[in-house]
Structure 1
Amino acid sequence: MKSIMVHAGSDAGFDSRLQVALDLTRRFNGHLSLILPRPPQDYVAFDMFGGAHFIAEAFEAAEKERAKLRTRIDEILKVEGMPWDWQDFDGTTTEALINAARLGDVMIMSLDATATGAPGHGRALVSDVVTASRTPVLAVPLSCKSIAFERAMIAYDGGFEAANAIRAALPMLAASSTVRIAEVEISPDAFPVTDAATYLSRHGISAEISVVAKGDTSIEERLLVEAKAWRPDFLVMGAYGHGRWRETLFGGVTRFLLGEIGVPVLLAH
């Protein structure tokens, strides 16, 4: 994990995801790229007839804000003593992050507190990027100030997405002291959880297996209980899954996990 990318901006979540990005870059002796979108809504106005109008004053104001951000972050990174670069992308925030991610090992993004689903924000933005790119996304809650590598938890349902997430997370899992695989609902054609443990063992990673009992509650709720009881430093999971998890990550599963677990979550599609 050498090419570490972080969504840069002046929003409330940037300092949290920057700190996590610094933790990863230090841990893996990597290179940090700050991805700075230049969305057209900052300086383009649209009228009721579908016309677009460039607003020079708005463009200049947005550029000044971006310059202030660069100056502030550059001062921090000079002290950190690690390699970094800035990458500017014109277009929407979603387009910028998807385009930038193609040659990254991980893209670090934020999850908002309310998760309203508004395009270009929070969970909706994470959903768009992780499902449109082949680069894993490390989703960081606003309350998160760092990432540790003592306890790692994998949510495994036997699907392709869960397997992709495990492969993407190998460096982070190898750096962790303890790894637990939480087995959730498995579809009939899926690979058993023991196969995941065997795969990790071939990479020198010893993992314990925990079966998440279904009970009378949903799988998402049971997995949240498991995570809160075991208290992992980060969670690894596929962006979509089998059975009851199919295409519900950014609905039910996110509501119970990403919105409440309070730790970074590595997602892969």
Structure 2
Amino acid sequence: MKTGLLHVAEDRGGDARLDAAVQLARAFDLHLTGAQAAPLSAYAMADPFGGVYPSVKLFTEHEKRQDATRAAVEARLRDEGVAFDWLRGVGSPATVLLDQSRLSDVIILSHLESDEGGWDAELDLVGDVRSPFACSDPLGAL
């Protein structure tokens, strides 16, 4: 293995994913790519008549949160001596991760429980990212 794709998000599983990514990077000398997703719903507001409008305020707030998360993750990876780069995609986390997964040997992600809530809740991220061509072993998705 040479490359790892790390799902970076502001959720309960973020620290565990980062710890696992650092351990994998050390064990296999992986180059990590931190991947952040910006779902379009993070920037949109709806009106009672069914209209959806982009919100500059929501966009700015979301970008600030993502920048802070990125800075913290990059600082940890630098401190750990792990080689990394970064990407930020627009769309659901599953879409962004799938788009990049073909270039990675391993994907580090976690299942978010149903009580996670919020606009960015991805209840079946692991299932959505798992390729139909992956091995049939259930541990192959870990």
The TM-score normalised by the length of structure 1 is: 0.47
Partner of 1:30: 30
C-alpha separation in 2, matches of 1:128 and 1:98:
9
1:3 aligns with 3
Percent identity of equivalent pairs: 29
In 1: Cα distance, 2:115 partner to 2:9 partner: 18
- Which is greater in Rg? 1
Aligned to 1:266: 140
Q: Which residue of 2 aligns with 1:64?
A: 64
Match of 1:121 in 2: 122
Query: How many corresponding residue pairs?
Result: 139
The answer as to whether partners of 1:43 and 1:54 remain within 8 angstroms in 2 is: yes
CA–CA distance in structure 2, aligned partners of residues 72 and 267 of structure 1 = 27
Q: Which residue of 1 aligns with 2:77?
A: 77
1:241-256 equivalences under 5 Å are: none
43-52 vs 97-106, greater mean Cα deviation: 43-52
Find the counterpart in structure 1 of residue 101 from structure 2. 101
**TM-fit CA distance, 1:70:** 1.3
C-alpha offsets along residues 185-238 of structure 1, whole Å, 9 cap, x if unaligned? xxxxxxxxxxxxxxxxxxxxxxxxxxxxxxxxxxxxxxxxxxxxxxxxxxxx24
Q: Which has the higher contact order (CA 8 A, sep 6+)?
A: 2
Unpaired stretches in structure 1, ≥5 consecutive residues? 137-160, 163-236, 239-264
Q: CA deviation at 1:113?
A: 4.1
1:44–1:54 contact (8 Å) kept in structure 2 = yes
Q: Which amino acid aligns with 1:4?
A: G
Opposite residue 14 of structure 2, the aligned amino acid is F
Alignment CA distance shift 1:110-1:31 (3 Å) = same
Tell whether 2:87 aligns with 1:87: yes
What runs of 5+ residues in structure 2 fail to find an aligned partner? Answer: none
Structure 1 residue 120, shift from structure 2 partner: 5.2
